[in-house]
Chain A
Amino acid sequence: MTEVTVGIGGAAGDGLDKTGDTLARTAARLGLHVYAYNSYQSVIRGGHIWLRVRIGQDKVQCHGDHLNALIALNQDAIERHAPEVEPGGVILFNTDKLRVNTALQDHVATLPLPVAELTAPFGRIQPIMQNTVALGALLFLLELEFDVAASVLADTFAHKGKAVIDQNVGLLRAGYDYARDRFVPLGLRWEFSRKRRPFITGNEAFSIGAVAAGCKFYSAYPMTPASSILHWMAAHADRCGIVVKQCEDELAVVNMAIGAGFAGVRAMCGTSGGGFALMTEAIGQAGMIEAPVVIILVQRGGPSTGIPTKTEQADLNQALGASQGDYPRIIIAPTHTADCFHSAVEAFNLAEKYQLPVILISDLLLSEHPETVDPELLPHRVPVDRGDLVTEWDPANGTYKRFAFTPSGVSPRALPGTPNTLYVAATDEHDEEGILISDVFTNPAVRRKIAEKRMKKMALALKDLPAPELEGPLDAEVTLIGWGSSRGVIREAVAQLAARGVRANHLQIKYILPFHADEVRNILSGARRTICIEGNATGQFARHLRAETGIGVDHLILKYDGEPFEPRQITEQVLAILEGRPRTLDVTLPEAREIAYHYIRTHLSEDVRPGRIEKMPGDGIPEPVWCIQIVDRDTGDPRGELFVGVQTGSTYSWQPAGLQARSAHS
């Protein structure tokens, strides 16, 4: 498949997200498929940002392993990422300010752009607009049509007027022409279908799915990475006829949504792990009073405040354990962007049909990365099932019982405002009519039957949910198991394994609760070797799988450094497991470099960078160490050495040059 991966590296505030967006939309308008991932930091300005845009002739379902073109907006980006550019690739940078000071792979071209000279005809421009020059050059190298990119800029700046549009298109042209006069394109053989596809994030898909399904109320408290749902909802509230309420805290958020759900509107709220922790008591309330509500839990790196702008899948235990007592709840982990749309629709139908809370568990990767999605997967008409609603009640039929003990466990629901069906929905235990049996008048028999009534709904709901299916050959050597957002990256790893001669198959789980225990047990009973792949440190899903099916997986591949899986990382670990190589938690060489960058930022100055890195015995240190040479950014002269433990990752010592008691050569 024809594809290319572009990396854009710089500091927060360099505007690289806009640059990436223009590139991505250009490719998308040409009918190509795009998947982008932004490793951003929780700061307004500064910090290293690394955006990858993968463009493919066919569907791309993760950001991949490759780097073919780099736009470096600062020196840091060159040092960190230029060595990753693959043969045949290219590096673009502003030659007025930056230079290539690291070793490159073979056949990598550098394209220094004299930005000051190229932008001079445009007078004073904002620094961010320099990116547009680089983007113009890149368009030529990638053989993407200039006019289409110009149309994207025209739309982006439509609200700023013609002068701004002309200036931006002019800068784009300057870069494009400069590259055309001096370089040859990378030689990608695109076929532009020009099919228009939305370039959409998971959070946007959740939002659009929700309003398509009739969501009328959305409440939230700002929390990364769920805030973009709040932003979308607020921006589209008038057009879509929804009440969007930013609340004082997540307690109010979820209780308001439950109140709205009780009153009869489709209500949703969203948060991340910390906010979800505050919501948990009320989620149990929704289960108890049988009020429909949809809660989106977008996981980020925990625990506690954790790594707010990084991805993780470590809130599964929390979702499963939310609130005291036994109560019915449905937990759905959408597996890809379009699935977020459908899961939102499904969540409302399930919440109303079974009168319970539905938790949609996503993560930063799925919720925030944009990708092209076929518009056929985002239909205007979606199924709506409001469940069993009582709109009229003849008192001759006797007293309406809101919590009637029915064979299915579902009691027909009346909304406030309906005559003759008055009731109180109580969080205290109650009888069929809603009358309390909690304090003065307790009743073990009624309690047992209403507890059973509520929980019966889970077995019924399970029948509504499609069972998971195994992808790939039945007689595979190894079965890879994932849940939620990892579907695309595991699929790609399976393909890589096949190319390396390993027959793997793949089971991706979307429905966490209720769980298809029988179906999954059947699938896994035929597996020769099972590996569960999760973005957390303890294998939370593997534990759930064992609890539900009695089947323990053979191996775990876990990632909890804040970055999403890349296919090759899975492939290599699967091969290591199959070959019996023990898993090591030692600090790798690239990680040693990142630890050095952290030390430089916190203890040294910006004029140095990591140089040569070697592993050596720890002389006087109780473990082997990485000896990281720290060099001058301009001259490359040694400025000292940093010693980092290979096993613990501890930064043991910094030896400035000239005072070296030891070195890699001693």
Chain B
Amino acid sequence: MATVVELPIETYVGPVEPDWCPGCGDFGVLKAVKMAAGRAGVHPKDLVVVSGIGCSSNLPGFIHAYGVHSLHGRAVAVASGIKLANTDLKVVITGGDGDGYGIGIGHFIHAMRRNLDLTYVVMNNQIYGLTTGQASPTTMKDMRTKSTPRGNAELPINPIALALVSGATYVARGFSGDPDHMAGLIAGGILHRGFALIDVFSPCVTYNKLNTYPWFKQRVYKLDKEPGYNSSDVMRALEKSFEWGDRIPIGLFYQDEQPTYEDSEPALRQGPLVRQKLGLEEDVFRSLLEELM
């Protein structure tokens, strides 16, 4: 691997200040994404931050990089197209739990089984914030929200377990209360060749009064401090992914080196598509017509 020349966090100062609620967990994520890009040495011109729709999906507007603020649930698909078109770019997807685990879950699962070289940071606040507080796919069972006044009847999605069984080759969880730790996980994801999920506990201070900073601070512990934990053991990672109670693990659950989808594409062997010559050589073109005669 080439030597990484780290860049300072100021490199990524965006054109406008975030308009998130004061205290929102997403501030920590924004800081961690900038730190991670710097640690991974990605120049802003080579960084594309792609989001969907939701509070957290406003993130691309707050960072100095290229970006697409796409449709609700479609960030992973748009990012996949960008990456396949220009493999020289580092593509980081940022979004929320409703965007990625609800309306966009199909793309999420399929991107993982493809092992595209993408980094996906999900700001998981277990609530729909932008639409003022309805249950999300990760809202805990029995929690009361505007749309579940009698308590949420559905079980939450387990994104870590889902990623592990769907073929993601880098699976981690961060916490907004510890941006520095999270930045390490995101930087690892950016440098990892393959699909990286970093699910982040990013508390919504306005609409989720259950899963708060104190709630997480009491519970989270770091896997890298766990004696004997080995992030190359998928079954052990799966076991840890189900730990949800008095103790909740954060950190790198699993990492594996596998060929990426891009590796399997013959068209990409001559370099990024975006740099390839348009059109066909005459003999190739003639052969296409000859087949039909």
Interface residues of A (CB under 8 A from B): 25, 28-29, 196-200, 204, 208, 211-214, 216-217, 219, 236-243, 245, 247-249, 251-252, 255-267, 281-282, 285, 289, 375, 378, 380-382, 384, 415-420, 422-428, 433, 435-436, 439-441
Pick 19 A–B contacts, CB within 8 A, sort by A. A25-B293, A198-B292, A212-B280, A239-B284, A241-B270, A251-B106, A252-B110, A255-B78, A259-B81, A259-B82, A260-B273, A266-B278, A289-B70, A416-B48, A416-B82, A422-B45, A425-B68, A427-B53, A435-B16
State the CA gap A631–B164 with chains docked (Å): 64
A424 B67 Cβ-Cβ under 8 A: yes
Assess whether A422 is in contact with B66, with CB atoms less than 8 Å apart. yes
User: Using an 8 Å CB-CB cutoff, how does the interface string of B8-31 with A read, 1 for contact, 0 for none?
Assistant: 000000011001000000000000
A422:B81 contact, CB within 8 angstroms: no
Knowing A255-B78, A264-B85 are in contact, say whether A243-B268 is a contact too (CB < 8 A). Answer: yes
Q: Is the CB of B273 within 8 A of A380?
A: no
- Select from chain B the residue with minimum beta-carbon distance to A232: B288
Q: Is the CB of B293 within 8 A of A197?
A: yes
| Separation of A219 and B19 alpha carbons in the complex (Å) | 36
Contact of B66 with A416 in the complex, beta carbons under 8 Å: yes
A256-B80, A433-B15 known; A265+B85 contact, CB < 8 A: yes
Main secondary structure of the interface of A (DSSP, over half): mixed
Chain B residue nearest to A380 in the complex (CB)? B285
Among residues of A, the one whose C-beta sits closest to the C-beta of B285 is A380
- B64, B86, B277, B288 — which one has the most chain A CB atoms within 10 A of its CB? B288
A-B residue pairs, 9 tightest by C-beta? A259-B81, A214-B278, A255-B77, A424-B67, A256-B81, A263-B85, A426-B69, A198-B292, A416-B66
A380 close to B66 (CB less than 8 A): no
- Cβ–Cβ < 8 Å partners of B33 in chain A: none
Residue B218 interfacial (CB < 8 Å): no
> Interface extent on B, as a size class?
35 or more
Bound together, the chains give a CA A240 to CA B68 distance in angstroms of: 29
Contact flags (1/0) for B50-71 with A, using CB distance below 8 Å? Answer: 1001000010110011111111
A138 to B39, CA, bound (A): 74
Query: Is B142 close to A, CB under 8 A?
Result: no
Q: A248-B110, A426-B61 are in contact. Are A263 and B274 (CB under 8 A)?
A: yes
A-chain residues with CB within 8 Å of residue B181 when the two chains form the complex: none
Complex CA distance for A402 and B49, rounded to whole angstroms: 16
B293 touches A196 (CB 8 A): yes
Given A259-B85, A425-B69, A439-B19, decide whether A252 and B107 contact each other with a Cβ distance below 8 A.
Answer: yes
A258 to B82, CA, bound (A): 8
A426→B79 CA distance, assembly (Å)? 14
A204 to B291, CA, bound (A): 11
Q: Which residues of B contact A256 (CB under 8 A)?
A: 77-78, 80-81, 84
Tell me, yes or no, whether B287 is within 8 Å of chain A by CB: yes
Per the bound structure, the CA–CA distance linking A394 and B290 in Å amounts to 48
- Mark contacts of B254-287 with chain A using CB atoms, 8 A cut-off: 1 yes-contact digit, 0 otherwise: 0000000000011110100110111110101111
